[in-house]
Amino acid sequence: MFTETIEKNREELKEELNQLEIQMYRMQENIKDISKDSRVLGIDQSKDEDWLIVSSIDDGQTCKIMLTDCETAYRGRSRFSLVASYQNDAIHIGDIKGPPNLGYGSICIKFLKEIARDHNIPKVTGDIAKRDWDHVERLIHFYEKHHFEVSVDYDSQSGGIKWVDL
């Protein structure tokens, strides 16, 4: 029984190592391709410990932060994105697209805050719109977890978020 457990653990470790090697190879290839279209900001890991390439397209008016996984080949599309616009003394989040509950939004928010700091912009703001109402409680939890002030008007199904760098 003990020997079987050791063998099983060895096989699991071999499989994990194989998967990691595939992701590292794919990461190298994807970074080359992504860097042709956008600026690579870094790499990070999802909740499931999958590696992601973080990149951005920034024209000085709009900033788009994108996440690309390292399990598949990059084909010009990211798996997740956050789009924000530069305003007077804030960066305003306009849209977040991609699958929920994988930690991707947290990665994008972390990098957006870094961009705000790099540009000496003290605030990140955003709106909670009626189209978000089916998952408003999840949004409130998400933004509060990232130290945003959240205000919600349940009657009009709207709200706003604000993070101020201290």
Give DSSP secondary structure letters for 68-101: EESSS---S--SEEEEEEE-SSEEEEEEEES-SS
Two structure tokens written together for 8: 């099983």
State the average pLDDT for the chain.
Answer: 93
Domain residue limits, the chain: 2-164
Q: Are 141 and 117 contacting, i.e. CB atoms less than 8 angstroms apart?
A: no
The mean pLDDT value for 112-135 works out to: 95
Q: Are strands 51-58 and 123-128 parallel, antiparallel or unpaired?
A: unpaired
Residue 120 corresponds to which tokens in the numbers above? 């000496």
C-alpha angle 56/110/64, rounded to 5°?
25
Mean pLDDT of 73-85: 94
pLDDT exceeds 90 at position 62: yes
pLDDT of residue 34: 96
- The domain made up of 2-164 has a fold known as Aminopeptidase (3.40.630)
pTM for the predicted model, two decimal places: 0.88
